[in-house]
Amino acid sequence: MGKTLDPQAKVLMDIVARAAAPAFHTLDVAKAREETRKLHAYFSAEAPAVGSVREMAIPHQGATIPARFYRPLGSPARSTLPLLVFFHGGGWTVGDLDSYDPLCRTLANEAQCGVLSVDYRLAPEHPFPAAVDDAYAATAWASEHARELGVDAARIAVGGDSAGGNLAAVTTILARDRGAPALVFQLLVYPATDQGSERPSWQQFGRGYLLELESIRYFQKKYLRHARDYHDWRASPLLRSDLAGLPPALVITAGFDPLLDDCVAYSQRLRAAGVEVEYRCFDGMVHGFLTLGKMFAAAGEASKLAARALTKAFQR
């Protein structure tokens, strides 16, 4: 029996169709970024109150990486918290701190942790591997400045969705290879794991389910400068030969997502390498559902699942 698209997803598809909203691949980068902000402004859940929010500038390579640090509601000002370093989605080309603000606030409150949301450099102005460099640098900085942030350097997780999930996965591998920072968990929400994928879900769900195959190719071309970049494991972590010794993972997928099969394959590779993996597919959902909480009840369910997994990892 085939899968059934969730009625709420069907409503969103109908709204998009009636609005004749342009696909990302038909827009220039500035317009694509504007449309992304509009999408999140219309369909994100309400942003809950948190204990505090602080804008930050993380030094890196003679410049700074903008970031936003959240402490959860009810957290004493001087308490030491576990930390989630979070990377937003958007094909390494669109997306920003404001679009992911409601989700980061929710995760901070539900997991009772600090959340450092990282505004890594975007393509095409800063192509691969700039985003990777920023993601790792921000994570390492957070560990090194844990006392300043009021977090526990021994309880740091990384996470993200889509392109951000890719960066989280890659950061865990870099941290393992370089011996620091010590990470306890990776939250991977429909992560991009194989840029050259030809798995069936790309064709099966690559048209008519919010994320179009042409849009994926558009983002790839903005981010990846050369053909060889598609096969670099820092762009396609599924191609990394050794995945042993990585922290436990929660992999969240959507049943009508072009990236579905790649996420499944990465989960299987992690398990085969001895990594503890919790896998959950929201069968009726489309790519991007987690940040569209005004439309999808499943977004709240997924954020609670993520918070439970983070809490468990932080308590080990």
Q: For residue range 53-82, list pLDDT tens digits in order.
A: 999 999 999 999 999 999 999 988 778 999
- Alpha carbon distance 115, 261 (integer Å): 29
**Averaged pLDDT of the chain:** 96
Q: What span, in angstroms and rounded, lies between the C-alpha atoms of 214 and 23? A: 9
Q: Would residue 1 count as lying in a domain?
A: no
Residues 25-36 have a mean pLDDT of 95
Domain assignment present for 67: yes
Identify the pLDDT of residue 186: 98
Give one DSSP letter per residue of the chain, joined into a string: ------HHHHHHHHHHHHHTPPPGGGS-HHHHHHHHHHHHHHHSPPPPP-SEEEEEEEEETTEEEEEEEEE-TT--TT--EEEEEEE--STTTS--TTTTHHHHHHHHHHHT-EEEEE----TTTS-TTHHHHHHHHHHHHHHHTHHHHTEEEEEEEEEEETHHHHHHHHHHHHHHHHT-S-EEEEEEES----TT---HHHHHSSSSSSS-HHHHHHHHHHH--SGGGGGSTTT-GGG-S--TTPPPEEEEEETT-TTHHHHHHHHHHHHHTT--EEEEEETT--TTGGG-TTT-HHHHHHHHHHHHHHHHHHT-
pLDDT at 140: 98
Asked if residue 2 is part of any domain, the answer here is no
What positions carry a catalytic annotation? 162, 257, 287
Residues 247-303: tens digit of each pLDDT: 999 999 999 999 999 999 999 999 999 999 999 999 999 999 999 999 999 999 999
pLDDT tens column, 153-168: 999 999 999 999 999 9
**Per-residue pLDDT reduced to its tens digit, 100-109:** 999 999 999 9
- Whether the pLDDT of residue 2 is over 80: the answer is no
Sheet holding 114-118, edge to edge: 52-60, 63-71, 114-118, 81-87, 151-161, 183-189, 249-254, 277-282
Name the domain count of the chain. Answer: 1
- Residues of the chain with pLDDT > 70, as a percent, come to 99
Mean pLDDT of 193-202: 97
How far, in Å, CA of 248 to CA of 263, rounded?
15
> Please, what's the largest Cα pairwise distance for the chain?
56
Residue 118 lies in a domain: yes
Residue for token digits 């042993």? Answer: 244
Could you tell me the residue range of the domain that residue 61 belongs to?
7-314
pLDDT confidence of residue 16: 84
Q: Is the pLDDT of residue 95 over 80?
A: yes
Residue 173 falls inside a structural domain: yes
Structural domain contains residue 89: yes
Structure tokens at 214: 């042409």
CATH number for position 75: 3.40.50.1820
Confidence (pLDDT) at 135: 98
Q: Is the pLDDT of residue 1 over 60?
A: no
- The predicted-structure confidence for 232-260, as pLDDT tens digits, reads as follows 999 999 999 999 999 999 999 999 999 99
pLDDT of residue 23: 85
Share of the chain above pLDDT 90, in %: 93
